[in-house]
Amino acid sequence: MAQRQMEPPNMSPLPRQALIVSHGQPSDPAPAEVTLKKLALNIAAHLPDWHIQSATLAADGHLEKALTPLSAGALVYPMFMAKGWFVTSALPERLGDTQVTVVDPLGLEPSLPDLAAQALRTAAETAGWPLAQTTVLLAAHGSGRSRKPAQMAQNFADAIATRLALADIRVGFVEEEPFVDQAATGCGPMSICLPLFACPGFHTTQDVPEALEKASFSGKLLPVLGEAPGIPRLIADRLQNHHSPSE
């Protein structure tokens, strides 16, 4: 009698996992949590075989709760514009001994200047402004503790300048000179301000608009770069490409 062969057990691989992390708003953490969750859902739409979560550093206990179900090798994607103190010190400290891999933050994505240039080109075309007569103001965070955020912003401005033939491109900061209002002064009516932030928050809803008003800026204020069309796809591609080499 022929022996019956046993079927091998179902060894379906665990879904690939990623955690999207941002700073959030300590004084009012709930809105930033909602915004980041929407971003995670949009990223997940491009990665149907992945499990994508989100958490801000500002919401008490949310990051630690999100880490609990992650398996070893999960990816952590920082929604920050520079590889500064939060990415290199604060985030690793909060992650502790969790066996995850932190990838480079949004601001270091090689294709991000292309995406920003397209957003600026579209804004100018919608307004009917020739690029050669349009001034771009990048409103960035800056820092009193590290030169990395300012250097990142300046490098980004240089990258935009190689992609768009603009009348002028300026950089202003919230936390260091030249401040946003100083950089915005004299920009003229055909000007576009792009907040160089990964996520919306107090700086972009209060500080930047107030600085533009102080400078009598009469141009267009765009949403933060982290909300530009194409960002979810860009992040999804980064997660996919980071995972693929080890397969």
- 5 in a structural domain: no
216 plus 236 within the same structural domain = no
pLDDT score at 41: 98
182 plus 209 within the same structural domain = yes
What pLDDT digit, counting tens, does each position of 223-237 carry? 999 999 899 999 999
Q: How confident is the model at residue 56 (pLDDT cuts 50, 70, 90)?
A: very high
What are residue 150's phi and psi, to 5 degrees?
-65, -40
195 plus 138 within the same structural domain = yes
Indicate whether 114 pLDDT > 70. Answer: yes
pLDDT score at 203: 87
In 3D, which of 199, 241, 242 has the Cα closest to residue 102?
Answer: 242
Q: What whole-number distance in Å separates Cα of residue 196 and Cα of residue 40?
A: 20
Give 13 or 145, the one with higher predicted confidence. 145
Q: How many domains does the chain have?
A: 2
- 11 in a structural domain: no
- 101 in a structural domain: yes
Mean pLDDT of 189-218: 95
pLDDT score at 188: 94
95 plus 126 within the same structural domain = no
Give the domain CATH number at 43.
3.40.50.1400
Q: What is the DSSP string of 54-68?
A: EEESSSTTHHHHHHT
Beta bridge mates, 52 = 18
Indicate whether 245 pLDDT > 70. Answer: no
196 plus 239 within the same structural domain = no
Indicate whether 1 pLDDT > 80. Answer: no
119 plus 81 within the same structural domain = no
pLDDT score at 244: 56
Indicate whether 71 pLDDT > 80. Answer: yes
- 90 in a structural domain: yes
141 plus 214 within the same structural domain = yes
116 plus 222 within the same structural domain = yes
Q: How confident is the model at residue 85 (pLDDT cuts 50, 70, 90)?
A: confident
Q: What whole-number distance in Å separates Cα of residue 30 and Cα of residue 100?
A: 25
pLDDT score at 187: 97
Owning domain of residue 201:
112-227
- 96 in a structural domain: yes
120 plus 195 within the same structural domain = yes
**Exposed (0-12), middle (13-18) or buried (19+): which is 9, by Cβ within 10 Å?**
exposed
148 plus 200 within the same structural domain = yes
pLDDT score at 143: 77
- 145 in a structural domain: yes
Indicate whether 247 pLDDT > 80. Answer: no
Indicate whether 137 pLDDT > 60. Answer: yes
HSE of 99, CA atoms in CB hemisphere, 13 A: 4
39 plus 87 within the same structural domain = yes
210 plus 160 within the same structural domain = yes
Q: How confident is the model at residue 14 (pLDDT cuts 50, 70, 90)?
A: low
- 48 in a structural domain: yes
Mean pLDDT of 125-140: 98
Indicate whether 149 pLDDT > 90. Answer: no
Mean pLDDT of 208-213: 97
pLDDT score at 100: 95
- 2 in a structural domain: no
Q: What is the mean pLDDT of the chain?
A: 91
Indicate whether 2 pLDDT > 50. Answer: no
